[in-house]
Amino acid sequence: MKRLASVVLLLVLGVWAANTSLFVAGVDQHQTRVIAHRGVHHIYTGSDKSGDACHASPVEPIEHAFIENTIPSMQEAFRLGADVVEIDIHLTPDDVFAVFHDWTVDCRTNGAGVTHEQSLAALQALDIGYGLDDGTGTYPMRGKSIGAIPSLDQVFAEAMDGQFLINFKSRRRKEGVALAQMLQRPEMRGQVYGVYGGQRPTRETLEAVPDLRGFDKAGLQDCLVRYLALGWSSYVPESCRNTIVMVPQNYASFMWGWPHRFTRRLEAVGTDVILAGAYDGSGFSSGIDDADSFAKVPDAFDGYVWTNRIELIGPLNEARQ
């Protein structure tokens, strides 16, 4: 019995030694990077977080003129300390990528219909501040952002001070083909950090652009489940290699080797780690969006922090470096 207890103790100590971050060297030499989800934008405060809900109203009191997925919003996000800005794309009938969040234009604009079924010219004629309201019913952004939907070409032409994480809003394979063709041009490829979203376009792009990384929901879930089962042994499953792994903050401590052993382990197999906000089961894009959440980000975290509030988290991160 004593021999069995000794063997068990040694095994436990071995697993602990393989996964503790206490002995990871050079931790203080790393800087935490930040991904600004949608750039600088207005924060939805309603209770319906489903994918079908309109998230343009109600929003927090409107105190700035920046609207998500627009060029001024992206520029401001980089100025505030973002390393990467997440943007959303739709391939229009005229084979141009429009940068806009919603599947339809009904919620945010004065138009109607499915976003990818409209030409870029039609989209750029819309007022994208039309639906924004802080609950007062005054719609203070109306008339101020007509023509503000950019094409992806226009975004790339700005040569901003950072990279983009591109979200495919559809499941259409043709969108992956079209983006991969764009990224054959070095001046465009260099501006793209990664891709994610719809499985078919995401995987099509990753297959066609071998040095690009990205993820879809099924692949991410497979990676995390397998890692939870096997990561204690330091093994990194194939589905976690050469990719991007997003971990909710309230589940991060369950990742074997969290934080620094985990990030180093994945870095060694070509994978970046993004720390997102707490997952509540709704699927809503939660981020590290307040000072308390940011305080829980490990010091010298050598991954990316996902935020909806770059205007708050960017300066906090700069002060920590």
Count: domains in the chain: 2
> Are residues 238 and 162 located together in one domain of the fold?
no
| 172 within a domain of the structure (yes/no) | yes
Domain boundary among 169, 194, 209: 209
Cβ atoms of 21 and 258 within 8 Å: the answer is yes
Q: Are residues 80 and 126 in the same domain?
A: yes
Burial of 33-66, coded b for 16+ CB within 10 Å and e otherwise, reads bbbbbbbbbbebeeeeeeeeeebbbbbeebeebb
- Residue 72 and residue 41 share a domain: yes
Do 176 and 223 share a domain, yes or no? no
Please check whether residues 257 and 110 belong to one and the same domain. Answer: no
- In this structure, how many other beta carbons lie within 10 angstroms of the beta carbon of residue 190? 12
Q: Does residue 3 sit within a domain?
A: no
**pTM of this prediction exceeds 0.85:** yes
Domain boundary among 152, 177, 209: 209
What is d(CA 279, CA 276) in angstroms, rounded to the nearest whole number? 8
Instruction: Examine the domain organization and report whether 91 and 151 are in the same domain.
Output: yes
- My answer on whether 198 and 223 are in the same domain is no
- Dihedral pair phi/psi, residue 217, rounded to 5°: -60, -45
Q: How many CA atoms lie within 13 A of 150 on its CB side?
A: 17
Residue 316 included in any domain: yes
Q: Which domain holds residue 222?
A: 216-321
Which has the closest alpha carbon to 139: 124, 129, 149, 128? 129
pLDDT, position 7:
65
CATH number, residue 193: 3.20.20.190
Question: Does residue 108 sit in the same domain as residue 146?
Answer: yes
170-186 burial code (b ≥16 CB/10 A, e <16): bebeebbebbbebbeee
Please report, in tens digits, the pLDDT of each residue of the chain (321 residues total). 777 676 667 777 877 778 888 877 777 777 899 999 999 999 999 888 877 788 999 999 999 999 999 999 999 999 999 999 999 999 999 999 999 999 999 999 999 999 999 999 999 999 999 999 998 999 999 999 999 999 999 999 998 999 999 999 999 999 999 999 999 999 999 999 999 999 999 999 999 999 999 999 999 999 999 999 999 999 999 999 999 999 999 999 999 999 999 999 999 999 999 999 998 876 656 899 999 999 999 999 999 999 999 999 999 999 987
pLDDT of residue 245: 97
Question: What's residue 31's pLDDT?
Answer: 86
Three-class secondary structure of residue 250 per DSSP: coil
Q: Judge if 79 and 150 occupy the same domain.
A: yes
30 in a domain, yes or no?
A: no
| Residue 106 is assigned to a structural domain of this protein | yes
Identify whether 24 is part of a domain.
no
Distance between CA atoms of residues 134 and 1, nearest Å: 67
Domain boundary, last residue among 209, 228, 250:
209
Are 57 and 177 in a shared domain? Answer: yes
Q: For residue 194, what pLDDT is reported?
A: 98
Do 180 and 202 meet the contact criterion of CB atoms below 8 Å apart? no
**Pairing assessment for the beta strands 97-99 and 163-168 based on DSSP bridges:** unpaired
User: What does 294-306 look like in DSSP terms, one character per residue?
Assistant: HHTSPTT--SEEE
User: Residues 57, 200: one domain?
Assistant: yes
Measured distance CA(226)–CA(241) in Å, rounded = 12
Residue 14 lies in a domain: no
Are both 197 and 236 inside the same structural domain? no
**What pLDDT score does 284 carry?**
58
Residue 320 in domain = yes
